[in-house]
């Protein structure tokens, strides 16, 4: 093997690095060559000062494409400029002056009352005079405080100047370190921002100037520009939009009356069947079946805990309401899982469909749970079927997301091997994809059940019976003890279901 002279490689490596630095920085190339060389000698942060970054501040970071740092330093410098603006031309005594004007108006009213009392010889004359003297003292002290606040502008100016200087020094000391980190990322990914961009410079300058000027004017002269104090709007706009939404709801309810009536009847039938099993069946049978399920699924410890939890529900007279709650939860979870897993399978095989479904799932999970009750009550009415629908909507997203995630995580090599041995698409799904994704899918089922149980209290607001009704009554009548007991009953139901569904770990 031919011997390679290391002395011949180093100059080429250094030259290659210098060319990369020149290509990345765009400007001040010799400066950044020396700085980057110095910083690369040791890992971690090494102190350097970038005068351009210190002078330009956030604008420098924006021009370099370091937008996260741009935002951070923009906030800090804006705070400093607000202090400076308040010190130079700020109305520092505004609040105290407004208070003094209010006191003066009240004092004028007291003087009028005193004059009327003197003319009529009322017995309240002395108390009115004492009140007027107190107001005169408060007025004098407030006026003095307002004058002192107006004279404190130099303090704001000094604080703002010191803060601005500190921020500038911090920006100068961090600029090269952040740029060198971006250079390292740029070497592996050329999509990372590089160079000194004039468009980025213009955008960052405009943004920084707008933020600083508007913020300084708002805090220094709050009465000068009313547009900065409140967003320009009109209350009639919201009322008109609300009326339009209400009209859409009314039309949908009228046009789809048959659908919503059928949905309500189906939900009620499913609930009735589940309640026959859980509520009408003798409690020893139900308890024995639940304990055996816990034993078979998760072992003896969980079975013992399940028996103790069921005893708590029974001894404190929560049994029937707990079974009603589980019936409502079971109906909602059954529908969610039955519809969610096939939809998740379809979305996993059709990424374009999932790109449409994902925003809907985000909306369903982001919407506050109480808001679900509005359209549900509008279309279905109150009662247990409405509670099932609201619970189903709230609990469906996890099982869909986890099904998609589990199928996407199936190793492609395993699927290719199955296809190479002649597996059909149906065989591939049932014998390869679903078994490998089972744990992830079951985690989604578990989350759906627990989220559905979290809707129990909320659903009680629209007439869904169960343990949520006791919690709601405890809130209404401030019965803390009863509310805690009902809350523990819901907790035990959740733990029992979680352990049975999760199984042995």
pLDDT digits (tens, 9 = 90+) for 23-64: 888 888 889 989 988 888 877 888 999 999 999 999 999 999
> Hey, CA dihedral for 123, 124, 125, 126, is it positive or negative?
positive
Nearest to 173 by CA among 75, 28, 24, 69: 69
The share of the chain scoring above pLDDT 90, in percent, equals: 25
pLDDT digits (tens, 9 = 90+) for 66-119: 999 999 999 999 999 999 998 888 877 777 888 888 888 888 888 888 888 777
* Torsion (CA) 159, 160, 161, 167 in degrees, nearest 10: 110
Helices (H), 198-299: 198-220, 235-255, 257-275, 283-298
Q: Are 127 and 47 in contact (CB under 8 A)?
A: no
What is the C-alpha separation between 302 and 308, in angstroms, rounded?
10
Q: Are 61 and 192 in contact (CB under 8 A)?
A: no
Q: End-to-end alpha-carbon separation of the chain, Å?
A: 56
Q: At what angle do helices 94-120 and 125-150 cross, to 10 degrees?
A: 160
Token pair, residue 265, equals: 């009847």
> Which range among 12-16, 247-251, 398-402, 454-458 shows the weakest confidence by mean pLDDT?
12-16
Helices (H), 57-197: 58-63, 67-89, 94-120, 125-150, 153-188
pLDDT for 7 beyond 50:
no
What is the C-alpha separation between 110 and 120, in angstroms, rounded?
15
Burial class (CB in 10 A: 0-12, 13-18, 19+), 316: middle
pLDDT, position 502: 73
> Hey, CA dihedral for 277, 282, 283, 287, is it positive or negative?
negative
pLDDT for 12 beyond 70:
no
Q: What is the CA radius of gyration of the chain?
A: 35
Nearest to 117 by CA among 104, 126, 107, 130: 126
What is the C-alpha separation between 307 and 289, in angstroms, rounded?
11
pLDDT, position 11: 44
3-class secondary-structure state, position 188 = helix
Whole-number mean pLDDT of the chain?
A: 85
What is the C-alpha separation between 61 and 436, in angstroms, rounded?
47
Q: Compute φ and ψ for 121, nearest 5 degrees.
A: 70, 35
Nearest to 483 by CA among 494, 472, 499, 493: 472
What is the C-alpha separation between 253 and 458, in angstroms, rounded?
23
What is the C-alpha separation between 315 and 313, in angstroms, rounded?
6
pLDDT, position 162: 95
Q: Are 113 and 132 in contact (CB under 8 A)?
A: no
pLDDT, position 166: 96
Mean pLDDT, residues 228-236: 80
pLDDT digits (tens, 9 = 90+) for 336-378: 888 999 999 999 989 899 999 999 998 888 887 778 788 888 8
pLDDT, position 13: 66
Nearest to 418 by CA among 410, 64, 469: 410
pLDDT for 206 beyond 90:
yes
pLDDT for 297 beyond 50:
yes
Burial class (CB in 10 A: 0-12, 13-18, 19+), 205: middle
Q: Are 333 and 501 in contact (CB under 8 A)?
A: no
What is the C-alpha separation between 286 and 276, in angstroms, rounded?
11
Burial class (CB in 10 A: 0-12, 13-18, 19+), 310: buried
pLDDT, position 61: 95
pLDDT, position 427: 87
Q: Are 325 and 459 in contact (CB under 8 A)?
A: no
Nearest to 48 by CA among 22, 78, 74, 28: 28
């Amino acid at each position: 093997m031919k011997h390679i002279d290391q002395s011949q490689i180093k100059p080429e490596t250094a030259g290659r690095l210098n060319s990369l630095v020149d290509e990345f920085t765009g400007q001040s190339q010799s400066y950044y060559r020396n700085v980057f060389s110095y910083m690369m000698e040791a890992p971690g942060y090494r102190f350097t000062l970038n005068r351009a970054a210190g002078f330009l501040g956030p604008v420098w970071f924006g021009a370099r494409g370091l937008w996260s740092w741009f935002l951070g330093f923009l906030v800090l410098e804006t705070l400093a400029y607000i202090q400076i603006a308040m010190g130079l031309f700020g109305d520092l005594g505004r609040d105290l002056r407004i208070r003094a004007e209010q006191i003066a108006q009240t004092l004028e009213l007291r003087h009028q009352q005193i004059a009327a009392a003197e003319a009529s010889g009322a017995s309240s004359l002395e108390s009115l005079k004492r009140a007027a003297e107190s107001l005169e003292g408060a007025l004098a002290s407030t006026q003095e405080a307002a004058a002192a606040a107006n004279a404190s502008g130099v303090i704001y100016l000094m604080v703002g100047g010191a803060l601005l200087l500190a921020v500038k020094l911090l920006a100068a000391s961090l600029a090269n370190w952040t740029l060198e980190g971006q250079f390292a990322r740029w070497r592996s990914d050329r999509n990372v921002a590089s160079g000194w961009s004039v468009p980025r410079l213009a955008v960052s300058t405009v943004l920084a100037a707008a933020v600083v000027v508007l913020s300084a004017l708002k805090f220094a002269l709050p009465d000068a520009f009313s547009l900065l104090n409140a967003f320009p709007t009109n209350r009639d706009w919201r009322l008109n939009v609300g009326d339009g939404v209400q009209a859409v709801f009314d039309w949908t309810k009228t046009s789809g009356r048959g659908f919503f009536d059928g949905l309500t009847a189906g939900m009620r039938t499913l609930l009735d069947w589940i309640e026959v099993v859980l509520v009408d069946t003798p409690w020893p049978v139900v308890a024995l079946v639940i304990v055996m399920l816990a034993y078979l699924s998760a072992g003896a410890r969980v079975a013992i805990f399940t028996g103790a939890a069921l005893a708590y529900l029974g001894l404190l007279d929560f049994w029937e309401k707990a079974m009603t709650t589980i019936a409502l939860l079971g109906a909602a979870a059954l529908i969610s899982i039955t519809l969610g897993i096939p939809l998740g399978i379809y979305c996993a095989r059709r990424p374009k469909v999932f790109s449409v479904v994902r925003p809907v799932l985000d909306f369903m999970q982001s919407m506050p749970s109480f808001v679900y009750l509005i359209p549900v009550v509008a279309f279905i009415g109150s009662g247990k079927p409405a509670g099932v629908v609201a619970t189903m909507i709230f609990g469906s997203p996890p099982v869909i997301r986890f099904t998609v995630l589990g199928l996407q995580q199936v190793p492609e090599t395993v699927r290719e091997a199955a296809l190479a041995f002649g597996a059909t698409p149906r065989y591939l799904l049932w014998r390869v994809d679903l078994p490998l994704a089972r744990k992830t899918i079951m985690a989604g089922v578990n989350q759906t059940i627990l989220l559905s149980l979290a809707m129990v209290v909320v659903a009680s607001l629209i007439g869904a019976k169960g343990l949520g009704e006791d919690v709601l009554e405890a809130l209404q009548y401030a019965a803390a003890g009863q509310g805690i007991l009902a809350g523990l009953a819901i907790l035990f139901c959740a733990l029992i279901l979680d352990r049975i569904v999760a199984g042995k770990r």
